[in-house]
Amino acid sequence: MMSGKQPGKNSVAAVRRNSVSWVMVAAVAVVVVFAGSIFGYVYVQHSAKAEREAAVAEWTPSETNRDPARKIPGVVAQDYEAGKHVTPAQRVNYDASPPYGGPHDGAWASCNGVVYESPVRTENFIHSLEHGAVWITYNPEGVDGAGVAALREKVQGQQYLTMSPYPGLDKPISLQSWGRQLKVERADDPRVDQFIRATRTNQYTHPEVGASCDALGAGQFDPDAPPPFDPNPPGADAVPMAAGNGTGAGQGNWM
């Protein structure tokens, strides 16, 4: 007699149930992997942002972190008396090369993102540092075209930054702010950006907070025809570091 059961039906149903189960497992696995990937991406992005913000804070001057440049390896620091002016015809017997403080010309070099293609008189740049600028110098024989281009990109069009070649520099690149200096071998050294962030317009380290970086105009400093750099030793008649009239007398009441 026939039992009425159809052999194989249960087996087919079981196979179908197993297939459905595996499809569900696979789908869940895909969702888990996708969710994990999204979480991982968000976590990595958040961590990277947190690291960037921490780095910015580390090198940004604040009431509790007034002179972050001192924490940058290789930075040298020196206190200089401000407001010591010399005439356009005078030179100063500076104590460093490039100098980063001391007596200076009554007219400051334009430091509003100007990139000077030729060396410029040092005494004008030192006044720019007094205003809160960072002056980037490079040895034209020690930095290739790519390095110069990388530095130019950091400076061009940026307020309180300026750049010029400096013949005879003992390192390829040197950065100066008032009373602070850093010398490096390469333009991509991370300390370059750290120094700029730590010293540019740092109200705690430069004397003349709020002073302009724009040239005064005719008869003062012409960024299109700046006074040239003098590679010769200053000479016996050079103004010593402790000198300078300190008032700008005869040169206008400039900051």
SS3 for the chain, per residue?
Answer: CCCCCCCCHHHHHHHHHHHHHHHHHHHHHHHHHHHHHHHHHHHHHHHHHHHHHHHHHHHCCECCECCHHHHCCCCEECCCCCCCEECCCCCECCCCCCCCCCCEECCCCCCEEEECCCCECHHHHHHHHHCCCEEEEECCCCCCHHHHHHHHHHHCCCCCEEEEECCCCCCCEEEEECCEEEEECCCCCHHHHHHHHHHCCCCCCCCCCCCCCCCCCCCCCCCCCCCECCCCCCCCCCECCCCCCCCCCCCCCCC
Whole-number average pLDDT of the chain:
87
pLDDT tens digits for 31-75?
777 777 787 766 656 555 555 555 678 999 999 999 999 999 999
pLDDT at 247: 42
pLDDT at 105: 96
pLDDT cut 90: percent of the chain above it: 70
pTM: 0.77
pLDDT tens digits for 157-214?
999 999 999 999 999 999 999 999 999 999 999 999 999 999 999 999 999 999 999 9
